[in-house]
């Protein structure tokens, strides 16, 4: 079984401040982990993914995430928030298997204040 917990349904930061969105996972096998971003009334866009290569993963728009097996975490960070980063962010896990299903967290809404 696999599951994802995103701590904080809403995170608010000032423009230029550090962004930290938390994600913890549960998986019985080495997982693949993903962060997706969703803008209002749109589908999901892949930000970055971890697939058992380097533990520090760099994605688009200046985001990165670090896979920490000991903490079962995959937190998303960005050094300096931009107004355009305001969106809903979803962490997802895939524990392999023939069905390739993703299990999503409940999402974190990021607001960026000027």
Chain residues binding other proteins by CB under 8 A are: 32, 34, 36, 41-46, 49, 51, 90, 99-102, 104-107
Q: How many residues does the chain have?
A: 114
Distance separating alpha carbons of residues 78 and 33, to the nearest angstrom: 17
Q: Between 46 and 54, whose beta carbon lies closer to other proteins?
A: 46
Distance separating alpha carbons of residues 111 and 88, to the nearest angstrom: 9
Quick check: helix, strand or coil at residue 88?
Answer: strand
Q: Between 15 and 39, whose beta carbon lies closer to other proteins?
A: 39
Q: Do the Cβ atoms of 89 and 8 come closer than 8 Å?
A: no
| C-alpha angle 58-51-20 in degrees, rounded to nearest 5 | 40
Least distance in Å: CB of 104 to other proteins?
A: 5
Least distance in Å: CB of 58 to other proteins?
A: 15
Least distance in Å: CB of 16 to other proteins?
A: 27
Least distance in Å: CB of 9 to other proteins?
A: 9
């Amino acid at each position: 079984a696999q599951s994802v917990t995103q701590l904080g349904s809403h995170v608010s930061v000032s423009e230029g401040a550090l962004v930290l969105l938390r994600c913890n996972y549960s998986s019985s096998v080495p997982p693949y982990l993903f962060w997706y971003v969703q803008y209002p009334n749109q589908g999901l866009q892949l930000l970055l993914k971890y697939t058992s290569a380097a533990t520090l993963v760099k994605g688009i728009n200046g985001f990165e995430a670090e896979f920490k097996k000991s903490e079962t975490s995959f937190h998303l960070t960005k050094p300096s928030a931009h107004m355009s980063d305001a969106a809903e962010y979803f962490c997802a896990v895939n524990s392999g298997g023939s069905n390739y299903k993703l299990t999503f967290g409940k999402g974190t809404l990021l607001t960026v204040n000027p």
